[in-house]
Structure 1
Amino acid sequence: MKIATAFSVARQTQEACCEAITSLKQQLCHPPDFIVCYYSANYQYLQIAKNLQFAFLSIPMIACSSCRGVFTQAGFHSNDGSGLALWAITDKFGSYGTGLEYIQKDSDIASIRKACQKALLKALDDAKRPGELPELIWLHSSPGYEEQMITALEELVGGQVPIVGGSAADQSISGHWSLFNQTAMATQGVAVAALFPGGEIGYSFHSGYVTSRALGIVTASHHRTIQSIDSRPAADVYFEAIGADSHQVDSSSILPLSAFYPIGRLAGHLDSLPFYQLAHPRAITDGGGLKLFADVHCGDELYLMEGSRESLIQRGGRVTQMSLTEPFSRQKPIGALIIYCAGCMLAIEHDIEEVVASIRNSLVEPLPFVGAFTYGEQGHFITGRNGHGNLMSSAVVFYQRERT
């Protein structure tokens, strides 16, 4: 097994593709068995897809747009918002496959779930492992219905298969995100990779925030809007808790403010230690509700979470460190895939190189990794279930299995 990465910050799409593809091929002695691509949304994604599909004919790949740049073990890659990165693995004992399905903007939940399951079945067929449970599902989709997608995938494989990934992003939450694999491309859709690696994997899903105080119980909600908490307007409860005036907060200021004060829901306990699933407030409704980037439900108990610049910088390293799990300590880690929330990146954008450094240092020895900045994160909690959250990080570390 071997993992390699490559990147480019060229402003022109074709130049960026040529630089990254050439660099990747120079590092690999054999054609890769699986490719991951992340790229800024200001590139021409159709051109990136065609270049990769031509350069790596029929090789399974999954690609997703990232917010304002990408990162690898070499650092944060962004030339005024432009950056492209590739990650590839050669693994003669493993199997990999991908599937992508287009989803219309106004599709109902049943159609979304059907598309997600169809994408997974395609991925299993592509891996030549139909009917088998993958070691891991890598998920990318357009933002909006990630919880329903996880449920749909679990209907096919159960809840013990880890589902890890992130929602496609753009430069400014304007809907210019995109996805592609080796056969298809979409701006609204779901892309799934089924991974059967020849070695072991370790994975983690982490927030990096601490509990500040209880907010109350959701008493009215609709999809991703909390209308009331303890029968009071949700925005009033939230901004009172963080010591701010909701009337002085507008759409341009709520995101950077709420990035340090997300809303948490209990995701479970490990022994006596609680773990939280986060939701990022993004707007205030006319009726005093709070719009989020994750689903909430009546009866959910909410907590105010709190983070700092230092905690957001260090948590990239923490989530990676947690993936270096004890069962695999005698095996050799060879590389990693990382997801880091775009909201956190934007809140500490000038310190993002320190985030990459914390990931690099957590791996102890120099290892290749690639990462994207996403508009929602999916992962497998240490408590044993899959979930979708905001302002979170996921990591998967690949290990070389010793063979006799």
Structure 2
Amino acid sequence: MKIATAYSVSPSTPIACEQVIEQLLQQSETLPQLIVCYYSANHQYLQIAKNLQIAFNSSSIIGCSSCQGIMTASGFHSQSGYGLGLWALWDEVGNYGTALESFSDTSDESIVAATQKALITALDNAQRPGELPDLIWLHASPGYEERMIEAIENLVGKQVPIAGGSAADQKIQGHWSLFAQAAVATQGVAVAALFPGGEIGYSFHSGYVANRALGVVTASHGRTVYEIDHHPAADIYRKAIGLVATSHPRHISILKHSSFCPLGLLSGKVDQLPFFKLAHPSALTADGGIELFSEIKVGDTLYLMKGSKESLIHRGGRVTELSLTEPFSCEQPIGALVIYCAGCMLAIQRDINEVVHSIRQSLGDELPFLGAFTFGEQGHFITGENGHGNLMSSAIVFYQRMSQ
């Protein structure tokens, strides 16, 4: 097994593609079994997908747009908001399959059907139909991730870990995209079914701590919470974070206020240590609700979470460190994929290379990794459940057997 990465910050999509493809082809005489591509959303994703398919015509490929740029062990890569990165895995013993399904109908039935079709196709492409993969790598257009996770679990069960991130653009304008082989989409679901020849360690981490309980949700719909303990949710959250009320009720964005104080849901405890899934408030509504980037249900107990610049910087290293704690005594780590929330990246963008340094410290300077900045994160909690959250980080680390 072998992992290598390549990157370019050229604003020209054809030139950036030529550079990263050449970098990878120089590292092996054979084509990799799996290619993961992350790119800033202002690149021409159709051109990227086409060029990769031509250059790596026997490889399984999955691609997802990232906010502002990408990161590797060499640093944060973005020039005027342009960045393109490739991650390649050579593993002749393993099997890998990718697939993408687009959808225009956003009903639950359509989302479930598209997700399950994508997974079945990915398993077929891995030449392992009907089998349970070691891990499912998921990329999706934002907004429907909970339904997608449920659809996957209904097909393969909850024991298969799911990890990945939601496609992003530069300014939350809906300009995100996905691709797999020749298929492309701006609204869809892309999956990779992984059957590695070695092992995979994984982790899902927030980097925030619980400040205090806010109360129980008593009215909600989808990704909007209307009441907490039968009081307007916006009033409770506004008071909790010290945000002054407006004189006239209106819809207002609170993204710049909420990145360090999101809402949390307890996902479980290990040795009395609580683990939380985060929900990022995006706006307060004129009718007293809170709009979020993940789903909240009636009966959920919400916690006010607290983060800091330092905790977000070191979280990248923490999530990869946790992925390294898997007890694979006969194997050694060879590289990683890292998902880091775009909202957190934007909050600490001047210090983003410190995040890279933190990841390098945990993985080791020689281990290659590729990271994307996403509008939603998926992962497998240490408590044993798959989940979708916000302002979080997800990582998987690949191990090869010492004899390989």
1:96 alignment counterpart:
96
2:144 alignment counterpart:
145
Q: Distance in 2 between matches of 1:71 and 1:251?
A: 35
SS in 1 for 2:26: helix
Asked whether 1:180 is paired with 2:172, we answer: no
Asked whether 1:170 is paired with 2:169, we answer: yes
Q: Distance in 1 between matches of 2:252 and 2:285?
A: 14
Q: Which is further off, 361-370 or 243-252? A: 243-252
Q: Distance in 1 between matches of 2:25 and 2:187?
A: 30
2:199 alignment counterpart:
200
Instruction: Summarize the alignment of residues 258-273 of structure 1 with structure 2, pairs less than 5 Å apart.
Output: 258-273=258-273
Q: Is the 8 A contact 1:264 1:305 kept in 2?
A: yes
Amino-acid identity (%) = 66
Instruction: Summarize the alignment of residues 220-369 of structure 1 with structure 2, pairs less than 5 Å apart.
Output: 220-247=219-246, 254-369=254-369
Q: Distance in 2 between matches of 1:143 and 1:280?
A: 13
Q: TM-score when scaled to structure 1? A: 0.98
Q: Deviations over 1:158-198 (max 9, x none)?
A: 11110000000000000000000112000000000000000
SS in 2 for 1:328: coil
Q: Is the 8 A contact 1:235 1:246 kept in 2?
A: no
1:83 alignment counterpart:
83
Q: Distance in 2 between matches of 1:251 and 1:323?
A: 40
Q: Deviations over 1:266-302 (max 9, x none)?
A: 1011121110000000011110110000000111100
Shift of 1:365: 4.2
Q: Is the 8 A contact 1:58 1:182 kept in 2?
A: no
Q: Is the 8 A contact 1:162 1:386 kept in 2?
A: yes
Q: Is the 8 A contact 2:253 2:283 kept in 1?
A: no
Q: Distance in 2 between matches of 1:252 and 1:89?
A: 44
Aligned length: 403
1:218 alignment counterpart:
217
Q: Distance in 1 between matches of 2:50 and 2:303?
A: 45
Shift of 1:364: 2.8
1:395 alignment counterpart:
395
Instruction: Summarize the alignment of residues 34-183 of structure 1 with structure 2, pairs less than 5 Å apart.
Output: 34-104=34-104, 106-183=105-182
SS in 1 for 2:117: helix
Q: Is the 8 A contact 2:251 2:285 kept in 1?
A: no
Q: Distance in 2 between matches of 1:281 and 1:32?
A: 40
Q: Would you identify which runs of 4 or more consecutive aligned residues in structure 1 move more than 4 Å?
A: 248-253
Q: Distance in 2 between matches of 1:107 and 1:315?
A: 34
Shift of 1:253: 6.0
CA distance 1:67–1:246, shift in 2 (3 Å): farther
Q: Deviations over 1:51-106 (max 9, x none)?
A: 101111131110000000000111000001100000000001000001110111x4
Q: Distance in 2 between matches of 1:58 and 1:108?
A: 35
Shift of 1:250: 8.9
SS in 1 for 2:286: coil
Q: Which is further off, 235-244 or 93-102? A: 235-244
Asked whether 1:11 is paired with 2:11, we answer: yes
AA at the equivalent of 2:281: P
Q: Which is further off, 237-246 or 166-175? A: 237-246
Q: Deviations over 1:333-364 (max 9, x none)?
A: 00000000000001111110100110011113
Q: Distance in 2 between matches of 1:246 and 1:165?
A: 37
CA distance 1:186–1:97, shift in 2 (3 Å): same
Q: TM-score when scaled to structure 2? A: 0.98
AA at the equivalent of 2:133: P
SS in 2 for 1:327: coil
Q: Deviations over 1:20-76 (max 9, x none)?
A: 110111112321000000000001100111110111113111000000000011100
Shift of 1:231: 1.0
Q: Is the 8 A contact 1:210 1:306 kept in 2?
A: yes
CA distance 1:188–1:253, shift in 2 (3 Å): closer
Q: Distance in 1 between matches of 2:251 and 2:230?
A: 24
AA at the equivalent of 1:317: G
Q: Deviations over 1:88-141 (max 9, x none)?
A: 00001000001110111x421011001000000000000000010000000001
Q: Which runs of 5+ in 1 are unaligned?
A: none
Q: Is the 8 A contact 1:333 1:397 kept in 2?
A: yes
Shift of 1:326: 4.0
AA at the equivalent of 1:173: I
Shift of 1:402: 2.9
RMSD after superposition: 1.4
